[in-house]
Amino acid sequence: VADDGYRLWLSYRSIEDAAVAKKYKAALQTLVIETESPTLTIAQKELEQAVAGLLGTKLITGKNMGPGTLLLGTPKSSPLIAALHLDATLGTLGDEGFLITNTSVKGTPCIVIAANTDVGILYGTFHFIRLLQTQQSLQSLSVASTPKIKRRILNHWDNLDRTVERGYAGFSLWDWHKLPDYIDPRYADYARANASIGINGTVLTNVNANAQILTEPYLKKVAALANLFRPYGIKVYLTARFSAPVEIGGLPTADPLDADVRNWWKKKIDEIYTYIPDFGGFCIKANSEGQPGPQNYNRTHADGANLFADMLAPHNGIVMWRAFVYSNEVTDDRAKQAYTEFKPLDGKFKGNALVQVKNGPIDFQPREPFHPLFGAMPNTPLMVEFQLTQEYLGFATHLVYMAPLFKECLDADTYTKGKGSLVSKVVDGSLDHHSLTAIAGVANIGNDRNWCGHPFAQANWYAYGRLAWDHELSSEALADEWIRMTFSNQPAVIAPTKAMMLASREITVQYMTPLGLHHIMGYNHHYGPGPWIKDKPRADWTSVYYHQADSLGVGFDRTASGSNALSQYAKEVQELYGPLAHCPNKYLLWFHHLPWKYKMPSGESLWDALCHAYYNGADSTAWMQRQWNSVEHKVDEEQFQHVKSLLTIQHQEAEWWRNACVLYFQSFSKMPVPAGLEKPE
Ligand code: GCU
């Protein structure tokens, strides 16, 4: 059967290595689950399906131990598990962690997946299946795993008419028209995929919110989805439009301190919980890009967030208040606005409110330094927001494996509490001792047959979930797992595919925005080059604003002689990026405006370095094509051809980027492309 990508990393292709398959078959004959629950049934079905696909055998499920037993359970629900006295380990694993180990029960050797809750068992089950898919040994198993971040969330920018803001994989999965009565089987596959990587929350609606979602007919539809997702450990969240009390409540104001407004939200939120008793809460975009918010009433972001926090608290709900504030009124460097508005509010947010901060201070660029708010608000739980959908990274056409981008941010040192104050430690709560922790990824999922448009975009969904669970996993390890699960365990597939994936983000940065350049994409749609964009209603809707190229040089001066956005970082970071002698090439033009002839550490001029980056980037896409061509006949033919076609487009468009940008910047530098490079056309 040709694999069109629908089955994602859960395709359970038959294991070709006979020796491995033989061992697995011996170890996996009997499945023992002593109690029933919707979640355990999901785990059981998944194991049966995995074993049938991978090994072509049938697991016998029951309550009795037998040869080759896999035993699943919690100490509470399974006397066999309770008798193993695993409490010391389970005690450290919380309500989502799990352990996998070899042991023996009444003299019969078996593999045990144990947890404190059924959802923990489901996570353990998927981890175990991953061991099979990646062909790991089942001897001496000793896995104890618990997530480092509590709320691991996807943000769908899905509108109620099923268009998806910045979505490149078809229309929204949520068929509002047919809900709640028709439950598309795809919802369960979505939930399975998420549970398999530990995602436990989904914001169903766009941050540019529509108040209609909060009306009764829609809440019933949302409840149907929540009911389906519940046994997979997934909570549903919504976006709330700040002006909803006016739009659907008939009130004259949405002032967060107004008694009627507060009462309206209290009733609305109480109503939501009658439909969805475990509703997760809200993600809110306010006073950004024209969206309504508390500042319309001279109130602060904290006033706004706390209104929701107060009403959600009795139900254990949370509010995720976005720090992506890009106001129509502020004229200062856009990179500074979030810090300027939020830093003074540190400590003013209620306990069940988080501030949701994009990874970088502008907007999901191919590369940005980490956002200066990380570490700057120690009294407020901060969550990071990544964008899986490739708004600025070639949509679903360019192959860009984003784990290195996520890791670059998570591993960045904010120095706010001295060396080692990593963004990941801010987000996982360990730096400032927060127990409410969360992470968000803007979903790249739509109703395309293969979910994400580009077959390799699935890897970004996958890597995001896995990193949300454990941000210490490496990009390399995650690529390795994903390739094995999706395509093949053959070294001749893994090596070139992994090399291509790991290099792809850096290659993309090189052909789009090298040396710290940013936001020079096509106007509004953000696809393809557009460094020439100017004369828009606002300066920062143009590209010329971001690159500042003129006859003297190029780059955005964010040091003290410019916007001084650099001052929003800790002293140590200022020392790293401020002095030219220290500033890494990758952030050079993000922080500095430099002459075309500026001498780079390599000895070449800035102009030559810029040209070399664009040419290297474009040339490397041909290298990516060669890597992929080498796996022909070793992976599914349909997937192979699909990726091959997309890589051809990527290569052509990388040259388009290169030529457009080099020719455009050359009109300022007036310098020739360095010797040895063909002339751009
Ligand atoms: C970007 C994107 C918008 C989106 C916004 C946000 O600016 O282009 O479509 O609404 O981010 O994150 O709120």
* 96 and 232 fall within a common domain: no
What is the ipTM score, two decimals? 0.99
Cα–Cα dist 234/198, whole Å: 9
- Give the tokens for residue 426: 């801010």
CA atoms within 13 A on the CB side of 367: 25
CB of 253 within 6 A of ligand 1: the answer is no
Known catalytic residue at 4: no
* 606 and 648 fall within a common domain: yes
Mutation probe of ligand 1 site: the residue of 324, 357, 523, 526 with most atoms within 8 A of C-beta: 324
> Of 121, 145, 169, which residue is a domain's last?
145
* 423 and 539 fall within a common domain: no
Q: With beta carbons less than 8 A apart as the criterion, state whether 169 and 396 touch.
A: yes
* 172 and 217 fall within a common domain: yes
* 249 and 221 fall within a common domain: yes
Q: Band the pLDDT of 681: cuts 50, 70, 90.
A: confident
CB atoms under 10 Å from CB of 104, counted, come to 12
| Residue 277 pLDDT exceeds 80 | yes
State the average pLDDT over residues 632-657.
Answer: 97
CA of 387 from ligand 1 middle (Å) equals 10
Domain extent at residue 618:
509-556+593-669
> Of 145, 170, 197, which residue is a domain's last?
145
| Residue 67 pLDDT exceeds 60 | yes
Known catalytic residue at 391: yes
Out of 16, 36, 289, 332, pick the active-site residue: 289
- Give the tokens for residue 71: 């035993």
CB of 484 within 6 A of ligand 1: the answer is no
pLDDT of amino acid 1: 55
Instruction: Say how many domains are in the chain.
Output: 3
* 394 and 529 fall within a common domain: no
* 302 and 440 fall within a common domain: yes
Pick the closest to residue 34 from 85, 87, 71 (CA basis): 71
DSSP classification of residue 416: B
CA of 297 from ligand 1 middle (Å) equals 23
The CA distances from residue 331 to 296, 370, 539, in Å, are 18, 22, 9
User: Tell me, what CATH number does 597's domain have?
Assistant: 3.90.1330.10
Residue 229 belongs to a domain: yes
**Amino acid residing at 69:** T
Residue 586 belongs to a domain: no
CA atoms within 13 A on the CB side of 154: 31
* 42 and 189 fall within a common domain: no
CB of 24 within 6 A of ligand 1: the answer is no
* 264 and 394 fall within a common domain: yes
pLDDT of amino acid 327: 78
Residue 616 belongs to a domain: yes
* 169 and 65 fall within a common domain: no
Q: With beta carbons less than 8 A apart as the criterion, state whether 347 and 380 touch.
A: yes
CA of 288 from ligand 1 middle (Å) equals 9
Residue 585 belongs to a domain: no
| Residue 20 pLDDT exceeds 80 | yes
pLDDT of amino acid 561: 97
Known catalytic residue at 289: yes
State the average pLDDT over residues 475-500.
Answer: 98
* 269 and 375 fall within a common domain: yes
Residue 574 belongs to a domain: no
User: Tell me, what CATH number does 28's domain have?
Assistant: 3.30.379.10
> Of 107, 126, 145, which residue is a domain's last?
145
CB of 166 within 6 A of ligand 1: the answer is yes
* 164 and 125 fall within a common domain: no
pLDDT of amino acid 520: 98
User: Tell me, what CATH number does 391's domain have?
Assistant: 3.20.20.80
Specify the DSSP element, H or E, that contains 459.
helix 458-469
Average pLDDT, the chain: 97
State the average pLDDT over residues 375-384.
Answer: 98
Residue 164 belongs to a domain: yes
CA of 208 from ligand 1 middle (Å) equals 8
Residue 165 belongs to a domain: yes
Residue 526 belongs to a domain: yes
Q: Band the pLDDT of 2: cuts 50, 70, 90.
A: low
